[in-house]
Structure 1
Amino acid sequence: MTKKQRYFGNIEKLKTGWRLSVTVGYNENGNPTRVRRMTKTKSAVQREKELMAFIDELENGDYVPPATMTFKQFIENEYIPKQATQQQGIKTREIRNSHFQNHIFPRIGHVQLSKLSTLQMVTFLHDIQQEDVRADEDDKRPLSTSTVCDIFKMVRTALETAKTWGVIKSNPCTGVRLPSERAKAPSYYTPEEIDFIYSKLAKEPLDLQVMICIAICTGCREGELVALERKHLLKDRLAIKFENNIIAPTKLGVQLKESTKNEMTGSVSIPKWLLDMITVYLSDYDDVRDAIQIEEKWASHEFLFYNHFNGKPLRPDSVYQRWIRFLARYKIRHLKFHALRHTSATLLIKENVHLKVIQQRLRHKKHATTADIYSHVLEESDDNAASTFKKPF
Structure 2
Amino acid sequence: MSPKVRSQTPTDPELLGCPRCDLISRIGGLETGEKAQCTRCGYTLLSQSEYRVDRLLAYSVTAILLLVFALTLDFIQYDSSGLTQSMTLLDAAWQLSYFHEKLLAVIVLLTVILYPLLYLFCLIAVFVAINMNASAMARYCLRLSAHVKPWLMVDVFLLGTLISLIKISGLANVQLKLGFWLFCGFVVFLLVTYYLVNTMNLWSVVGKRTTPSRDVKAGVTAHEQGYKVCEVCHRVVPFGVSDCPCCGDDIDRHWWRSPQATLALIVAAAVLLVPAHWLPIMETVRFGDAQPSTIIGGVVELWQSGDAPIAVIVFVASLVIPVAKILALLGLMALARWQTPQAVNHRLVLYKITDWIGRWSMIDIFVVAILVALVRSGTVMSVYPGSAAIAFGAAVVLTMLAAMSFDTRLFWREAKK
Q: Same fold (TM over 0.5)?
A: no
What TM bracket, shorter-length normalisation?
A: under 0.3
Pick the structure with greater CA Rg.
1
TM-score (norm 2): 0.25
TM-score (norm 1): 0.26
Structure showing greater relative contact order (alpha-carbon pairs closer than 8 Å, 6 or more residues apart): 2
